[in-house]
A and B are shown apart, each in its own frame.
Chain A
Amino acid sequence: MTAKPERGLTRAQRASVITGVLCFVLILVVIQLWLLTATMNAYLGGDDGVVWPALVASAVCLALNLGLLRYLSRR
């Protein structure tokens, strides 16, 4: 069952929704950037222990971002 897009929102309200989604996506991307730099530093320092957990965490962030993008495409 697919969710129907909500009707009746004014353009200003939809703009607020988009701005909120944008903020969430931006935060997740910044977390991913931090993960990538920290993982690269650890890998170059010979520490392989964080590589796979960081990959999983980054993939979870991507999944959340894709979900938010899908939500946004229905607005």
Chain B
Amino acid sequence: MTDDPQQRPLDVRIDSPSREGLTGTARSDVYEPAREPEDVTAPPDHRPMDEQPRWRRDFAIDWPEDHFVARRDFVKFLVLTSGAFVAGQAWIAAQSLVRRRRPPPERAKIAALSALPPGSVRMFAYPEPHDPCLLIRTRDGQLLAYSQKCTHLACAVVQRLDEGILHCPCHEGIFDLATGRNIAGPPPRPLPIIELEVDGDDIFAIGVRERTV
């Protein structure tokens, strides 16, 4: 009978004591114990790691040391990202202050009621010339107005009066025609409502109401 562990017959039972933790067919005692990563790391000049130049300590030559350094660097990168997020929050806060001091949009005539029969739609720009909006007169005569910019990525929404929706063709976003609420697709918020005022035959836009829900 030989003492060589390679030559001894293998107990094939998967739960045998000598095969704990193994999935192969070799006995557990044929493996050497795992070495410490400190022992694996061997600089070319074999001097201790404390005496190595900084660049070699930071950018080690083997995987365990490199793994160790990479996690520290990843933490530094995450903290930098954390600072960038705070900068973003500060930018939003600054924009909020600017918006609060901005005067409300002026009242503007956008259409004549007589030129807008039931079941029709007209485009207009409000409050600025580059802010496209939709003025909708439903079949029952109700006047509705929304910003035409989809709240997802600002594509122009298109009315589908028969289906009672406003449709964004870019990413299949759908808004309810009667309320402007986002009911399907990626848009995160309802469409801003353009507040209207009817004075005789004239339709005026008097404000913009943005909403989160």
Contact = CB atoms under 8 A, between A and B. Distances in A.
Interface of A: 10-12, 14-15, 18-19, 21-22, 25-26, 28-29, 32-33, 35-36, 39-48, 51-52, 54-55, 58-59, 61-62, 65-66, 68-69, 72
Interface residues of B, number: 36
Determine which residue in A15, A32, A68 has the highest number of CB atoms from chain B within 10 A of its CB, and name it: A32
A52 to B, nearest CB: 6
Contacts of A19: 71
B93 A22 contact: no
Contacts of A10: 36, 38
B93 A65 contact: no
A49 to B, nearest CB: 10
A58 B212 contact: no
B92 A59 contact: no
A30 to B, nearest CB: 10
Contacts of A61: 82, 85-86
A45 B100 CA distance: 14
B133 to A, nearest CB: 16
Name the prevailing secondary structure of the B interface residues: helix
Name the prevailing secondary structure of the A interface residues: helix
B95 interface: yes
Interface string B86-108: 10111011011001100000000
A46 B210 contact: yes
B56 interface: no
Contacts of B79: 25, 62, 65-66, 68-69
B71 A26 contact: no
Interface of B: 36-38, 64, 67-68, 71-72, 74-76, 78-79, 81-83, 85-86, 88-90, 92-93, 95-96, 99-100, 151, 188-189, 192, 209-213
A54 B212 contact: no
14 contacts: A12-B36, A15-B68, A18-B68, A22-B74, A39-B89, A39-B92, A40-B92, A41-B188, A44-B189, A48-B100, A61-B85, A62-B82, A62-B85, A72-B72
B92 A51 contact: yes
B96 A43 contact: yes
